[in-house]
Amino acid sequence: MRIPLSLSVVLFVALAACAKKNDANATDTAAVSDSSTTTTDTAATSNASAAAMTDANILAQESDGDSAEVVVGRYAQAHAASSQVKAYAKLLVDDHGKGLKEVHDLAKKLSITPQPAADDTARQETAHTLEHLGTLKGRDFDTAFVAHEIQDHQTDIADAKKAAAAAQNPEVKQLVEKSLPELQKHLDRAQAIARK
């Protein structure tokens, strides 16, 4: 599935606006929050969120993840210096484009409207990633993009495992589990590029 460049630009602008709004909210929240919050508290909240995920949340997570990879991958195709990094970006666009279609098709089949979890920040994170990558050129861009993909795919694999465990509908569970080998392939490829 190909997403027109104009749609990618519109998505980026919308994501950037969401990120700015989220930054303002985060500043307000940070001023009020107690700085003594521990990692254990954060992990407990994260585990509670994963356990409380609905199939609509899981489909939203999958859709947003695939959309982000398509947008960031297209940006990298246009801005990467290395042909190897450009080829990797194309792989991400192609694979996650197919994944996005599969998520949308399943959501339609099951009559589930994807709904991000209340604590989901995927769109804001994508806007921040594009904003950061937009400040880089040449080898610096390639290095940052590949490092982002390593970290992002490690997170995606962990999130997918939690989502598969939380899925209620067997078809939703199967969709998430099917994505794991591909996510691992993308991680392995990014790590191989980084080693060179």
Write the pLDDT tens digit of every residue in 131-149: 999 999 999 999 999 999 9
In the chain, what are the domain boundaries? Answer: 54-120+130-195
Instruction: Write the DSSP assignment of 12-36 as a string of letters.
Output: HHHHHHHHHHHHHHHHHHHHHS-TT
Whole-number pLDDT of residue 16: 43
Band (pLDDT 50/70/90 cuts) for residue 51 is: low
Closest CA to 139 of 85, 75, 192: 85
Helical pair 55-79 and 138-166, crossing angle rounded to 10 deg: 170
Q: Please give the Cα distance from 140 to 9 (Å, whole number).
A: 22
Q: What is the pLDDT of residues 13-29, one digit of tens each?
A: 444 444 333 433 333 33
Question: CATH code for 54-120+130-195?
Answer: 1.20.1260.10
- Contact (Cβ atoms closer than 8 angstroms) between residue 91 and residue 189: yes
Q: What is the pLDDT of residue 5?
A: 40
The token pair that represents 28 in the structure block: 């307000």
Q: How confident is the model at residue 94 (pLDDT cuts 50, 70, 90)?
A: very high
How does residue 8 score in pLDDT terms, banded at 50, 70 and 90?
Answer: very low
- pTM comes to 0.75
